[in-house]
Amino acid sequence: MGDSLVDCPIEVGPEHQLGAYVNAFRVRRTAKGEHVLDFLLYSEVENAAKVVSRIRVDEAFVPHIKERLGTAFRDFRGMVDF
């Protein structure tokens, strides 16, 4: 599943329509062979961060995430002038 593209409808509930603003993230490995991805709202003034969203993924899924993000940003770079 992780290495193939699946074209299917994706339901986005009303609570996720606008998304959540984040300006930082971290990735941590757990003792269970998983990775925790935290998407954060960081305040430089307070020198603190709040977890906006946290997901856990199996370690085997991480390379697929890296590949898809790399592809998405390469494609995005071609459409937008940085």
Question: pLDDT digits over 63-79, tens only?
Answer: 999 998 888 888 776 65
Q: How confident is the model at residue 57 (pLDDT cuts 50, 70, 90)?
A: very high
Spell out the domain ranges in the chain: 14-79
Q: 27-30, long-range: CB within 8 Å, 24+ apart, which pairs?
A: 29/59, 30/56
Question: pLDDT digits over 4-47, tens only?
Answer: 678 899 999 988 888 889 999 999 999 888 999 999 999 999 99
Query: What is the spatial distance between Cα 20 and Cα 16, in angstroms, rounded to a whole number?
Result: 7
Residue 39 contacts residue 51 (beta carbons within 8 Å) = yes
Under CATH, what is the fold of the domain 14-79? Nuclear Transport Factor 2; Chain: A, (3.10.450)
> What's the pLDDT score for residue 18?
87
If one counts every other C-beta atom within 10 angstroms of the C-beta of residue 26, the result is 12
Q: How confident is the model at residue 82 (pLDDT cuts 50, 70, 90)?
A: very low
